[in-house]
Every structure is written in C-alpha cells, then in structure tokens.
C-alpha cells in the first residue's frame, strides 16, 4: 500500500504543479483522480487546448469576478491583461488543484467572492 501511495504522489505531482502537496489527497480520492484522467476520452484534446489557449473576454464579464491563482500552478498561466474590476487572489503554497493543497484557503476565496455578488 505504501508503494502505491508513493506512486500516486509522484503521478499527481508529475504535471509540474498539479498538486503542491499530493500527500494531502486521500489515497482513494487520488486513485479515482488518476483513473479518471487516464480514462477520460477527451482528456488529450482538452489538455492541449487548455495549455495552448489564453484567457480572453474578461473585460466583457459584468458580474463580480474573482480570479484565484495558485502560486505553483504549472498548467494555467495568469493572463497578461486582467480587468481592473476583477479581484485577484493568489493562493500561496498551492498547485493547480488548490482544493487539495489548501481547502480552507479555497473556501475563504469562494465565500469572499460570493459576498461581492
């Protein structure tokens, strides 16, 4: 079981910023996560598009907007232009999936963003 847990931790961190703290993901959740990525029929196309694309149209959003950027996200880059009306939050010590790295910080960001609407 320990070898499998170590393998899962390496796999979840292999994306260069997917998770900053893979050890915080429960074993069963990590297994489901890796399996879901591996079996997703459109994963390759979506992943390629996500990495190639850029955020556009942020100026057109007319509702309160919060953008949360994990400090160590190796998959999604912050856009070069962020509207002045957007609220930006930087999640210290987090990778691409901050809900596992720091669930309390994610909850604070969501509550604060909801309070603005």
pTM: 0.74
pLDDT tens digits for the chain (117 residues)? 455 556 666 666 655 667 888 888 888 888 888 788 778 888 788 778 777 767 788 899 999 999 999 998 877 888 888 998 899 999 999 998 899 999 999 999 999 999 987
| Alpha-carbon span 51 to 90, nearest angstrom | 20
- Show the tokens assigned to 32: 């489901």
Number of other CB atoms surrounding residue 92 within 10 Å: 12
Domain ranges in the chain are: 2-115
Give 50-57's long-range contacts (Cβ < 8 A, gap of 24+). Answer: 50/75, 50/76, 51/75, 54/79, 54/80, 55/79
């Amino acid at each position: 079981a320990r070898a499998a847990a170590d393998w899962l931790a390496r796999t979840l961190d292999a994306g260069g910023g997917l998770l900053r703290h893979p050890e915080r993901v429960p074993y069963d959740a990590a297994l489901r996560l890796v399996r879901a990525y591996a079996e997703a029929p459109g994963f390759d196309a979506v992943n390629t598009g996500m990495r190639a694309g850029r955020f556009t149209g942020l100026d057109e959003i007319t509702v309160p907007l919060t953008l949360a950027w994990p400090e160590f996200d190796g998959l999604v880059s912050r856009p070069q232009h962020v509207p002045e009306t957007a609220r930006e939050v930087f999640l210290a010590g987090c990778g691409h999936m901050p809900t596992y790295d720091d669930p309390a910080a994610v909850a604070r960001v969501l509550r604060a963003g909801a309070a603005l609407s």
